[in-house]
Structure 1
């Protein structure tokens, strides 16, 4: 047998060796997770759409999808920390606060950009400005956007949290406390805020859209490393829900009303303050978070020596959204 006649055999052996070398790479493709836990919240109406239609369950037929209810950003972030949720919906500044205090999370998607919080007083209140709140009782849920909104509003009025009495109540309880007269003001959150306006005549004492941080879906760093494809699948499902909401505003409002148990006019008021047009994280979001970050330092909400700008750079990860949505 000549050397030329042995070439096909040599090529076969080489091909076999290459196949063995490449085999582990094909095996490394991410399998769908056996279970996936997400939160849903009335302050994140798109999550209600996603849960209602079951689009994520259809996208991951071999995965057991479980939903947990979040009353506020603090609960959502607690679920992420404890493993009770793989995806959590919170205000972006609340996510910054959590990351700065040691929670290894990454924000991967914007579920809404809403003016969802303001300082609320009763309809018969004599208070007219934030400065009038000095020495007063304010209900606020610590670790949430309404709480941070309150601190920023006080700071702008040259007050600090020590100039008022903050009562740390969950959002629905804060509404009740305000309407009963147990507190002078409440750091409201939609839809509870919209409901109090319509049903009890409550008045928005102070509004500032720039002091409202956008809503983000976050995951842990470990989950981001182990399940990148699952994250993209979830974002894709969120996008389907967002697009449905934009195309069906009346049905969207009715769904929010039904899920929250609130009247339709309350749901419509909430949605009138909700912007669903920009789901992608951008450099502008990084800049906005950094502009809001000083309140975390000045009010000693983060550990001394924490470089909050670095925390924000580590937190906000637009890559997953870009892979699904494309460029903003």
Structure 2
């Protein structure tokens, strides 16, 4: 009899525990009071979305507040995601891949643009015209971002590596200043800072390759996506509204970029022109581009040798939310 009673108590206890856990999960979902989005000067779509308050409108009916956080680069957006300072972060695809390979629990759920946002830059009076000339020189780049990855891939193509020069790790705007003040001899630039030094100082882009620029991805923490899939879809819905608006209103979009980044309109226009906003659903194109980038990064030990790059890329790219909203 005692064994039977013990068994009944065990069953009852387990049932109560499962009920409590279920209630707790439901409570967690119900208590979402705020969604935190980042915005970035390298993501004109995010700037339009923030400008017009479309996210605030969409979430108001659900009683959810929207908060905005400025990301100065992919590395900052990823830091914010990892620390749960933001729920959604805007990065270059390859930067998200590096983070994913290091265990960051994120997924790329939307493509905000296919940009040519990085190139290798030298001053107007520099005699540097080819990447081979960077050997032994100081080059500014923000570690873990698309410009840094662009630099590594370009070096590898001519038989060089990061060991053949001195990479100075600076945030994008500081890298631009370092180039103009002679602290470095070249810079792996990022728009709109790159467009600004072109317009203001006549700086030259001595190496360009659109296909080495990985896509601009909107990333979400995996736990957040699992707990709040409807919020992810709502964010993609408002991003879609902003994307279409930017395509239809490029002049006004440039005005917003110029205002937010405090830059001349000519600079904003040049930066915006280098973005393709036509293909927002992540998929095979991104998988192919990121796999190629990942192999280079692995050869440079940026991604560990024991990481299965194709597997990590597949885990990173999640097309389901965008397909649910857009198709």
TM superposition shift of 1:28: 6.4
TM superposition shift of 1:221: 1.1
**Within the alignment, does 1:250 sit opposite 2:251 as a pair?**
yes
Residue aligning to 1:90? 91
SS in 2 for 1:181: coil
Counterpart contact for 1:191–1:266, Cα < 8 Å? yes
**Within the alignment, does 1:53 sit opposite 2:52 as a pair?**
yes
**Runs of 5+ in structure 1 lacking a partner?**
1-23
Take 1:178 and 1:199, find their aligned partners in 2: how far apart are those partners?
Answer: 13
TM-score by length of structure 2 reads 0.90
Work out the number of aligned pairs and report it. 302
TM superposition shift of 1:31: 4.5
**Runs of 5+ in structure 2 lacking a partner?**
1-21
**Within the alignment, does 1:261 sit opposite 2:262 as a pair?**
yes
Residue aligning to 1:300? 301
SS in 2 for 1:303: coil
TM superposition shift of 1:302: 1.8
SS in 2 for 1:293: helix
The structure with more radius of gyration: 1
Counterpart contact for 1:33–1:230, Cα < 8 Å? no
**Within the alignment, does 1:206 sit opposite 2:207 as a pair?**
yes
Take 1:113 and 1:31, find their aligned partners in 2: how far apart are those partners?
Answer: 36
Take 1:287 and 1:122, find their aligned partners in 2: how far apart are those partners?
Answer: 34
Take 1:182 and 1:258, find their aligned partners in 2: how far apart are those partners?
Answer: 29
Take 1:296 and 1:55, find their aligned partners in 2: how far apart are those partners?
Answer: 37
Query: 4+ residue runs of structure 1 moved beyond 4 angstroms?
Result: 27-32
TM-score by length of structure 1 reads 0.90
**Within the alignment, does 1:39 sit opposite 2:73 as a pair?**
no
Counterpart contact for 1:109–1:279, Cα < 8 Å? yes
TM superposition shift of 1:304: 3.0
SS in 2 for 1:159: coil
Take 2:52 and 2:82, find their aligned partners in 1: how far apart are those partners?
Answer: 27
Residue aligning to 2:12? none
Take 2:31 and 2:310, find their aligned partners in 1: how far apart are those partners?
Answer: 34
Q: CA RMSD in A?
A: 1.6
